[in-house]
Amino acid sequence: MEANIGLTQKDTKEVVGILNTLLSDQHILYMKLRNYHWNIEGASFLELHTFFEKLYNELEGIIDLTAERIRKLGKKPLGSFKEFLENANLKEAKSGVSDSKTILEDLLNSYESTIIWMRENIETVSEEKDYGTEDMLVGIMKSCEEAAWMLRAYLSK
């Protein structure tokens, strides 16, 4: 059933497209974090292992918010890894990577790319007058900015 919340079908389709791309990137980032959590090695193992767990647990909740926002707009979120890979801006992590510098750089790049992409697309959502989605995206962006800041701090050691 279509949602009757003051957005046109065209506007809803555009916003849902943005949200499904974000949802796809979130799943790729989530899998990177899990992969790196399992495979990190080196002197900072325990600290980074714990840090990555914190990040993927936080991201799990954000993924749920994004998918549920799509449902609130009367549409269905993407739900398969095939769809996520086809719609994501981010690329999967390379297998076999275990050194902290490479991992931290990849995660920082992923978070910063996501922040830039969200910043570019929040304006579109705002133009469509979908203030609920705009507010959610601003919150997600702030969370990603915090993660990026922490990753930069690790890399500055």
* HEC sequence for the chain: CCCCCCCCHHHHHHHHHHHHHHHHHHHHHHHHHHHHHHHCECCCHHHHHHHHHHHHHHHHHHHHHHHHHHHHCCCCCCCCHHHHHHHCCCCCCCCCCCEHHHHHHHHHHHHHHHHHHHHHHHHHHHHCCCHHHHHHHHHHHHHHHHHHHHHHHHHCC
| Cα(108)–Cα(156) distance, integer angstroms | 12
Per-residue pLDDT at 1: 75
pLDDT 10s per residue in the chain (157 long)? 788 888 889 999 999 999 999 999 999 999 999 999 999 999 899 999 999 999 999 999 999 999 999 999 999 999 999 999 999 999 999 888 889 999 999 999 999 999 999 999 999 999 889 999 999 999 999 999 999 999 999 999 6
Structure-token match 């999967």, residue found: 92
- Model pTM above 0.85: yes
Question: What are the structure tokens assigned to 4, written together?
Answer: 């009757």
| Cα(107)–Cα(115) distance, integer angstroms | 12
Domains, the chain, ranges and CATH?
A: 9-155 (1.20.1260.10)
Q: Among candidates 129, 25, 136, which has minimal Cα distance to 70?
A: 136
Per-residue pLDDT at 157: 66
Per-residue pLDDT at 97: 86
